Amino acid sequence: MRNKSITLSIVLVSIIVMIFCGAAFAKDSLIIYTSMKESLIGGIVEGFIVKYPDVAVDYQSAGAGKLMAKIAAERESGKILADIIWTSEVPDFYSMRKEGILEQYNTPLINEILNPFDDYDGHFTAARLGTLGIAINTDLIKTPPAQWSDLFKPEYKGAFGIADPALSGTSFMSVGMLEKQFGWEFFEKLHANQARIGKGSGQVVDDTASGELAASLAVDYITNDKITKGAHIALYYPPELLMAPSPIAIFKGSPNLEAAKKFVDYLLSHEAQVLIAGEGTLSVRTDVSNQEGFMLPEASEVLARAIKIDYIDMMGRKEELIKKFTDVLQGRK
């Protein structure tokens, strides 16, 4: 009995020592904060590791709002943990550039891609053209929506969801664009039809698939991923198109600067962009076309049809926009 317990404690102690050593000697790795979901970022990181086996990569996938909060907290404590940020909330990148926390990196690949930013200067580069449309549950909605105003119809009553713009970057961008195009009147009418504020951009799509919502404002690849898995949903684009480019940027003072640059270039490369197109969203490369089977508009068409918006103006109005949106949809004046 005594020997047993001594052996037991020795085993336990050595396990702990092993853990401690493991933690101490872990490779210094490239850390990516991204709002891309696992289905998109997972494959890309895998491909990158195959190409650069000597670089260790860790990533955290969460809503843009949460990531920015985390970064702000980390700045407060003195050190940003992440080397790279890749989300779809463009105004955040403008404000980070203004605050001077982004590293300037003029990628040699810039001429091979569609650049949606007129004032491109290397602080951030678009790595994907995200589109948003209306995802419907095909069991609940029989006639596909053709206009944004279709959402005021009775079949969407109490069952149309928009992700919380405080959590989701794409949702914030969409609210800004829809407000610019149609004014707050659009959201007041949505409220009259009892539209709901959901949580993140992934959850509204899942809720649409489950039937908790009949339809939602949905991001292309999240919806297409579920459609591929057999969910009873479909994605439709009204004529006024919502497009949110997803910029990638490197933080100033990153200890893994070279690896970070490699990652940015990899992400813009043909190989990674094919992966991006394969997940049901739009590549920024002119030589990568949409994967067949997804109901996606062509990239050139997207750039022409998209609602234009002034990102710098949006940057200053972030809090106000979110508050106003929440107030309108919750019926507060």
Where does this chain bind other proteins (CB under 8 A)? 2, 5, 12-13, 15-16, 19, 23, 31, 33, 37-38, 42, 58-63, 65-66, 68-70, 72-74, 76-78, 81, 137, 159, 166-167, 198-213, 222, 226, 229-233
Give the nearest distance from C-beta 122 to other proteins in angstroms: 26
Give the nearest distance from C-beta 276 to other proteins in angstroms: 19
Give the nearest distance from C-beta 69 to other proteins in angstroms: 5
Give the nearest distance from C-beta 299 to other proteins in angstroms: 26
- Using the structure block, give the residue that is written with the tokens 């210094």: 28
3-state DSSP assignment of residue 257: helix
3-state DSSP assignment of residue 86: strand
Task: Please list, in sequence order, all residues whose beta carbon lies within 8 angstroms of the beta carbon of residue 11, skipping any fewer than 6 positions away.
Answer: none
How far apart are the two ends of the chain, measured CA to CA in Å? 73
Give the nearest distance from C-beta 308 to other proteins in angstroms: 29
For residues 214 and 245, give the distance between their C-alpha atoms in angstroms, rounded to a whole number: 27
Cβ closest to other proteins, residue 83 vs residue 150? 83
Cα 199 off chain centre by: 14
Question: Are residues 48 and 151 in contact, defined by beta-carbon separation less than 8 angstroms?
Answer: no
Give the nearest distance from C-beta 45 to other proteins in angstroms: 8
Cβ closest to other proteins, residue 159 vs residue 306? 159
Give the nearest distance from C-beta 301 to other proteins in angstroms: 28
For residues 30 and 211, give the distance between their C-alpha atoms in angstroms, rounded to a whole number: 39
Q: Can you read off the two tokens belonging to residue 307?
A: 């609602």
Residue 4 corresponds to which amino acid? K
As to burial, measured by CB atoms within 10 angstroms (0-12 exposed, 13-18 middle, 19+ buried), residue 3 is exposed
Q: What is the longest distance spanned by two Cα atoms in the chain? A: 78
Q: Tell me which DSSP letter residue 193 carries.
A: T
Give the nearest distance from C-beta 134 to other proteins in angstroms: 17
Cβ closest to other proteins, residue 204 vs residue 272? 204
Cβ closest to other proteins, residue 289 vs residue 326? 326
Cα 113 off chain centre by: 19
Paired residues of 306 in beta bridges: 241
Paired residues of 240 in beta bridges: none
Cβ closest to other proteins, residue 103 vs residue 207? 207
Cβ closest to other proteins, residue 35 vs residue 273? 35
Cα 121 off chain centre by: 22
Cβ closest to other proteins, residue 74 vs residue 265? 74
Cβ closest to other proteins, residue 61 vs residue 131? 61
